[in-house]
Amino acid sequence: MSGITIEQLRERVRGEIITPDDDRYEEARHVYNAMIDRRPSLILRAADAGDVMAGVDYARENGLDLAVRGGNHSVPGFGTCDDGIVVDLGGMRGVRVDAAKRTARAEGGATWGDFNHATHAFGLATTGGIISTTGIGGLTLGGGIGHTARGFGLSIDNLVSADVVTADGHLLVASDTENEDLFWALRGGGGNFGVVTSFDYALHPLAQVYGGPMFFELEDAETVLRFYRDFIASAPEQLGAFPGFQVAPPLPFIPEDRHGDTFVIVVAAWAGPLDEGEKALKPIHDAAPVVAEFVGPMPYPALNSAFDGLVPPGLQHYWKASFAGELTDGAIAAHLEYGPKIPTMNSALHIYPIDGAVHRVASDATAFAYRDASFATVIAGMWPSPADNEANTAWVRDYYAALARESEMGAYVNFLSDDDQGRIRTNYGGNYDRLVSLKNKYDPGNLFHLNQNISPKG
């Protein structure tokens, strides 16, 4: 190797360097999706932006693969690699809130749990993931769908600026006024353009939401989905509500004799005045008899961690996804066929509404192109035992194939698996060529290629 030696790297960084001979290696090399089993030659647990710059230099100078890890939730396992280096931001999780300006600056390895905890203390919030252990890093860079998307927009629509270590090892500020082209590309372009060491978000006054999950009988699934399609199209934007299918977990609010049964669900989050929440959710309640529910006023971070128990680390994951302009009769028929076959309690079929504020941003205003899609559907296969891999991946594939006829060609990049790289161009639509040209400007050597990759070659 002609580049930086490991000893030189050790001298440059304050964080931990973990190599295969280290006791911590086994634990450090694993990612959230247990189907991924890779062995990097070095894991750098960065302490600050300087460490990230050193890690990027080390990878580039030595011609090594570079995996970047934030919250570690990538289903394709982009946060690790064989033989190369992992820059792990998991130790960089600080969040500073400026309550007067209604902004928060969060380090690149923070999770949504870290973020929501910090902002909730000030009665402020923004759109983030529905599971608290997901990283703000990967989720934001792909777009960011959450309960408040209809009202506040995607996570990227609330991004004010980012500190980015680019492939040359320099740190740039990207915002509407500095490196505007990089800022455009970061908002939806995933990890293709650099390592974001901190994100600045705009916040909104929101301490409590009125919401939670409602469970309906499978025999009412068609009624509920048809109702939802009509209802959400004209529901106030303060209402986030998504339907799905769920195997009932053993929770006290679900009758014990129904644990393990499959239901059609609606998970609601009313972010308007709390005393109007019951009324806002009444139409959903009235759509069909509710078998079980856990609905009421609750802190926003509580709703955003309510389902954490269903998705512990160490599950096998295989996901597919699509965007849809409409929930067509054909799509509903596909859901009625495959939703009830959801194979495990951990798995999820969710149909997220992405209209309202998301639609008010032009398709070419950020890299996230699908601004006219109204729904982002995810078929998230998650299961404990590798022995069940075949059955679970088959459910995801068959469901996706049935829905594909009723969907757009593209899908949310953060919900794709590693066999979906062929859909990248479609996902970025008319923004793809600009992304390729910016990839050539900021990362011509494709150092950041372990992601849903935008190749500099186009």
Binding site for ligand FAD (CB under 6 A): 67-75, 78-79, 89, 108, 129-131, 134-135, 137-139, 141-142, 144-146, 190-191, 195-196, 311, 414, 450-451
In the complex with ligand FAD, the residue whose CB is nearer, 335 or 350, is 350
Query: Shortest gap between Cβ of 223 and ligand FAD (angstroms)?
Result: 26
Residue 302's contacts (CB-CB under 8 Å, 6 or more residues apart) are none
CB of 350 to ligand FAD, least distance (A): 8
Beta strands in 342-433 (DSSP E): 348-353, 375-383
Tokens at residue 145, please? 């769908």
Provide the 3-class DSSP secondary structure of residue 293.
strand
Per the CB < 8 A criterion, the answer to whether 111 and 119 are in contact is: no
Closest to ligand FAD by CB, 269 vs 287, is 269
- Nearest approach in angstroms of CB 261 to ligand FAD is 23
**Structure-block tokens of residue 98:** 């400026």
In 26-177, DSSP assigns E strands to 42-45, 66-69, 85-88, 95-98, 103-107, 124-125, 159-165, 171-175
Q: How far is the CB of 252 from ligand FAD (least distance, A)?
A: 23
Residue 345 C-beta-side C-alpha neighbours within 13 Å:
15
Minimum distance between the CB of residue 144 and ligand FAD, rounded to whole angstroms?
5
**Comparison of 205 and 312: residue with beta carbon closer to ligand FAD:** 312
Cα–Cα distance, 299 to 284 (Å, whole number): 21
Kindly provide the b/e burial profile for residues 3-25, where b requires at least 16 CB atoms within 10 angstroms of the residue's own CB.
ebeeeebeeebebbbbeeeeeeb
Q: Which is nearer to ligand FAD, 40 or 137 (CB)?
A: 137
Residue number, 217 or 308, with CB nearest to ligand FAD? 308
Which is closer to ligand FAD, CB of 68 or CB of 291? 68
Indicate the helix (H) or strand (E) that contains 12.
helix 6-12
- When the beta carbons of 238 and 305 are compared against ligand FAD, the nearer one is 305
Q: For residues 440 and 432, give the distance between their C-alpha atoms in angstroms, rounded to a whole number.
A: 12
Distances in Å between the Cα of 261 and the Cα atoms of 58, 250, 419 are 51, 10, 31
In angstroms, what is the minimal distance from the CB of 380 to ligand FAD? 7
Q: Which is nearer to ligand FAD, 78 or 263 (CB)?
A: 78
**Between residues 60 and 227, which has the closer beta carbon with respect to ligand FAD?**
60
Q: Are 446 and 439 in contact (CB under 8 A)?
A: yes
Question: Phi and psi (nearest 5°) for 257?
Answer: -75, -5
**What gap in Å lies between CA 330 and CA 336, rounded to an integer?**
10
